[in-house]
A and B are shown apart, each in its own frame.
Chain A
Amino acid sequence: MSDQRSLFHQQVYQPDFLDPKASAIPTFSLLQQKGELYPTAKAPDLSKEKALKIHDTFLFIRALDERMLASQRQGRISFYMTEIGEEAADICSAAALKPEDTIFAQYREQGALAYRGFSVDQFMNQIFANELDLGKGRQMPVHYGSKALNYVTISSPLATQIPQATGYAYGLKQDKKDQVVICYFGEGAASEGDFHAGLNMAAVLKAPVIFFCRNNGYAISTPAHEQFAGDGIASRGTGYGIKTLRVDGNDALAVYEATRLARKIALEEHQPILIEAMTYRLGAHSSSDDPSGYRSKAEESKWQEQDPVARFRNWLIKQGWWSQEEDEASLAKHRKQVAEAMKKAEKLPKPALDTLFSDVYDELPWHLEEQLEEAKAHILRNPTAYPATAGRLVK
């Protein structure tokens, strides 16, 4: 190893400070709102089957988000987060990958998981934290994960998944796997130190990871202009030595094509890629948030007109692949399935008491065994105070 910096770089003889405003990054777009391509744009190679699967996932997520938000309002679940307005960003990027590529998500990418095949029952089991939840009812709603679908379990601390995605991708390269990692995060999370750590390490260690930023304008109540002063997130990519593209996040075709190319470059050139998808969080941050306190209806309706689902539907109809009637029938079908699955999941019991202590380690160490016994004995002495678990304990 040695110092590989060049001694012979271009020199100037006046102090010429670079102005960050001088080099705004353009946005890659293909599809207009009415479903027409831009004049010189070329549609990606997307089969009818795949296009309809993408749209079906759009409608499922709309139905799921709508019903779950209502359930939270009714007090049937503790918490929820919708992804309304951002469906094209995660669903179309996931559609451009292979099922064996691994996804590290933040929390507003349930669409990518649905596209991978997470069933409506699996969604419900996690949200209701019942005994069939893959996560054993330990995490808040919307913290999904599935080994079978290569979707790494979500955690609440923001941006922690970014350097992890880098490590995972490095491991794939070590195994000579023809696979990449995609790592989703919002523009707010990109202010965390882990964003810097993860991107810099990926560039230096040449990890095949696609960093996918959903720049939706807000981190809870904080607008993007209070988050950063530079040209969004994309402008940071080249500083790390990472190939970067800004894309219209409400344009399903552009997101699909951007991600497809990113995957190709990441694999062929063994290097990370940064995609910044410009979009808008049409819903509240979460069920615990009311956006009317920090933004206007006028602003929201301006973005409502940019709805990614409607835009893609318009394109499908123009292709002759879909109709308004089919669209309404499909949405109604998803709404019914969601409602039925919810009723089923709601009735299932909570996980058993021993799952409170298992999986802290691979095996139960002595102190957790002691504490499990202590908890059991206490519950058996006071069964009425613990109706969910008491009846299932063996004396």
Chain B
Amino acid sequence: MSKMNLLQAVNSSLETAMQQDERVLCFGEDVGAFGGVFRATSGLQEKFGKSRCFNTPLTEQGIIGFALGLAAQKQVPVAEIQFADYIFPAFDQLVNEAAKYRYRSGNEFNVGSLTVRAPYGGGINGGLYHSQSPEAYFTHTPGLKVVIPRNPHQAKGLLLASIADDNPVLFFEPKKLYRASTGEVPDEHYLLPLGKAEVVREGTDITLVAWGAQVQVIEAAADLAAEKGISCEVIDLRTLLPWDKATLVASLKKTGRLIINHEAPKTSGFGAELAASLQEACFLHLESPILRVTGWDTPFPLALEKEYFPNALRTLDAIQSSMDF
């Protein structure tokens, strides 16, 4: 066990994976000798050589296309997109190619060994193009998995599981927490299961669900609600595709109320999928409408970042209105 921040946990995860399997390759813009603009790949080129950890030219569609070729050849590529905001040039390679490789070939070929890492989310004064949360664009794509950790322990265990998983995985790292979130992390190899949510805090009156940095927000909201005598069950979804319906249904059948919180805009955000599916599955158990506390339907602003954010106070408002319904 070592005390690590989320960034160090990502670095430890990559080092562990590269140590264990010489077919694991890390690459992207500035990933090589420099170790990445956030330092996530720091020291890896020194340790494993230039052929396994290297810079690519500045081309996101190239990085992902290249990674798919490596994966089809049975290497284990861990490609970095510098900011999730810049994943869109690779959208075609991810949606039309990565996601459909196995299906369209009848499993003659697959790119299951692919993992794409990308720092995501706001909270660092990043404005429009260093703050986005694009997960819902990808949860609409059969064939991809989408995974988001909330702390260092999860970052390492879920990233190692994503690398080991035999499907293309998008691994979004909440960059706001890179240095802000710290905790004890095993030095050795360990896996956390994909597709499994985690009940972070048990409660009886209402269920709160979020992922990534927003889990802290709903925990803070749960604290505020507790002062008012409301018992919140807090759930970290961890994997968005395929998401853990069973855990959420069980929670909702117990509490009868649900608040979904995410940083991305509301319309067609992943919260809409959760709300619709859980309404279908738990209709007779619901005591109030499922509410979403999310970013507004605007681009991500700079000066008014605080007003944009679906923070604890807005979540508390939603909890109160759900309880009062």
Contacts and interface: CB of A to CB of B under 8 A. Distances in A.
B108 interface: yes
The size class of the interface chain A forms with chain B is: 35 or more
Interface string A197-213: 11011001100000000
Nearest to A181: B69
Contact of A163 (B65, B107, B246): B65
Given A135-B105, A193-B89, A205-B54, A170 B69 contact: yes
Of A138, A139, A196, A365, most buried by chain B (CB within 10 Å of CB) is A365
A171 B105 CA distance: 20
Contacts of A205: 54, 56, 66
Interface in A346-376: 359-362, 365-367
Contact of B57 (A135, A194, A200): A200
B242 A366 contact: yes
Contacts of A143: 104
B157 interface: no
A104 B74 CA distance: 16
B297 interface: no
A165 interface: yes
B96 interface: yes
Contacts of B266: none
Nearest to B96: A157
A134 B108 CA distance: 7
B314 interface: no
A164 interface: yes
A200 B143 CA distance: 29
A204 B54 CA distance: 11
A302 to B, nearest CB: 37
B245 A366 contact: yes
Contact of B70 (A136, A157, A168, A196): A168
A153 B109 contact: yes
Nearest to B25: A174
Contacts of A194: 61-62, 65, 92-93
Nearest to B95: A157
B75 A171 contact: yes
B102 interface: yes
B81 interface: no
A362 B62 contact: no
Interface in B98-113: 100-110, 112
Interface string B1-41: 00000000000000000000001010000001100000000
Interface in A64-118: 102, 104
A197 B195 contact: no
A138 B106 CA distance: 8
Given A155-B97, A160-B92, A160-B97, A167 B108 contact: no
Nearest to A104: B69
Nearest to A173: B51
Given A147-B109, A194-B61, A138 B56 contact: no
A138 B103 contact: yes
A362 B167 contact: yes
Contact of A166 (B66, B103, B109, B167): B66
A341 interface: no
Interface in A136-193: 136, 138-139, 143, 145-147, 152-153, 155, 157, 160, 162-172, 174-175, 193
B3 to A, nearest CB: 32
Contacts of A196: 59, 62
Given A163-B61, A194-B61, A361-B143, A201 B66 contact: yes
B18 to A, nearest CB: 13
A359 B93 contact: no
A167 B109 contact: no
Contacts of A360: 102-103, 142-143
B109 A174 contact: no
Given A155-B96, A171-B75, A174-B75, A359 B66 contact: no
A373 to B, nearest CB: 15
Of A135, A145, A163, A170, most buried by chain B (CB within 10 Å of CB) is A163
A133 B107 CA distance: 12
A162 B71 CA distance: 14
Contact of A201 (B57, B93, B107): B57
B177 interface: no
A201 B62 contact: yes
A362 B246 CA distance: 21
B166 interface: yes
Contacts of A168: 69-70, 72-73
B264 interface: no
B149 interface: no
A2 to B, nearest CB: 10
A157 B66 CA distance: 16
Nearest to B112: A362
Of B32, B55, B72, B108, most buried by chain A (CB within 10 Å of CB) is B108
A324 B124 CA distance: 76
A170 B101 CA distance: 19
Given A167-B66, A167-B69, A174-B51, A153 B104 contact: yes
A7 interface: no
| Nearest 6 CB-CB pairings of A with B | A167-B69, A163-B65, A197-B62, A171-B73, A153-B105, A168-B69
Interface of A: 1, 102, 104, 133-136, 138-139, 143, 145-147, 152-153, 155, 157, 160, 162-172, 174-175, 193-194, 196-198, 200-201, 204-205, 359-362, 365-367
13 contacts: A133-B106, A145-B106, A155-B100, A157-B92, A157-B97, A166-B69, A170-B66, A171-B75, A174-B52, A193-B59, A197-B65, A201-B59, A362-B167
